Structure 1
Amino acid sequence: MAIRVTCLIKRRADMTQEQFSEHWGKNHARIFTSLKAVKENLVRYNQFHVLESPSSQLAAIGLPIAPYDGAAEFWVDRIEDLLALFGDEEYQQTAIPDEANFLDRSVVQVLVGEDQLKYEKM
């Protein structure tokens, strides 16, 4: 079973949600997924983009909404694979500098675990 690493992220303070999603979903995704180390080390990469309107609707009925704009999800066979990706020179010279264009790296929070599916509608 793959290990999932979820990074909770926030957009730069000077960006709208739309600008953040546009850059992360198109520009950064293209840069990131083109990297050799991504292809060699990741099983799966997913971007989770927060939807403002549904979040506001749930907040209106009293549900606490996490203060993040999205989550980057990485699936790896071993945590060493993710460490290899993050330590890769091309990743550090290409992907990390682009992050400054859309996210606040200082507030990223990370969860590491495995999925335990309990229900799925077929």
Structure 2
Amino acid sequence: MPLPLAGPAPSAAGKYVKITMFLKKLPHVSQEYFSAYWANNHVAPALRNKVFRNKVRRYNQQHITADCRELASKFGAPVLDYDGVAEIWVDSLDDWMTAVTDPDLMAAVDGDDKNFMVQPVHIMVSFDHLILGGEEWKPNNGRDSKL
């Protein structure tokens, strides 16, 4: 018998949609090349595209290095085998579909993924339920990270 609940499940009502994409680099490119290409070359056409800029509320890239994997392995749990994670926030899936099917954007990025990442990209659609930390995160007094 399940334990009694302490409250209701989080609701997506009134929240944005979060699209998360899990990326793997091509086997013959370095992590440095993958990260540099993704952060600069691949994202540039999207940032120049008016539809993408108007529909996407937030876009974040997570770059996963060998050092990151090594740190994660210290937890003793399986480590996901991805080289990057893209997080995109939109008001609705319709907005996302409008952005990624825009003819100008499609023409600008068509085939570019073949330069740095493996297909298929794995994807997840969700919403956030913030528990702690309502403000934008800021570095800790400029100290270097442990990565």
TM-score under structure 2 normalisation?
Answer: 0.75
Q: 1:14 maps to which residue?
A: 28
Partner of 1:40: 54
- Residue in structure 2 matched with residue 68 of structure 1 by the alignment: 82
CA distance in 2 between counterparts of 1:105 and 1:115 reads 26
Deviation of the 1:60 alpha carbon = 4.3
Q: Which has the higher contact order (CA 8 A, sep 6+)?
A: 1
**What SS is found at the alignment partner of 1:117?**
coil
Unpaired runs of at least 5, structure 1: none
Superposed displacement of residue 57, structure 1:
2.8
Q: Confirm or deny that 1:26 pairs with 2:40.
A: yes
- Identity percentage over the alignment? 28
Aligned residues: 121
RMSD between aligned residues? 1.6
Q: Would you tell me which structure has more helix in proportion to its own residues? A: 1
**Paired residue for 1:79, among 93, 107, 111?**
93
Q: How far does residue 61 in structure 1 lie from its aligned partner after superposition?
A: 4.8
Mapped pair 1:109 → 2:127: no
Instruction: Select the structure of larger CA radius of gyration.
Output: 2
Distance 1:49 1:117 in 2: 22
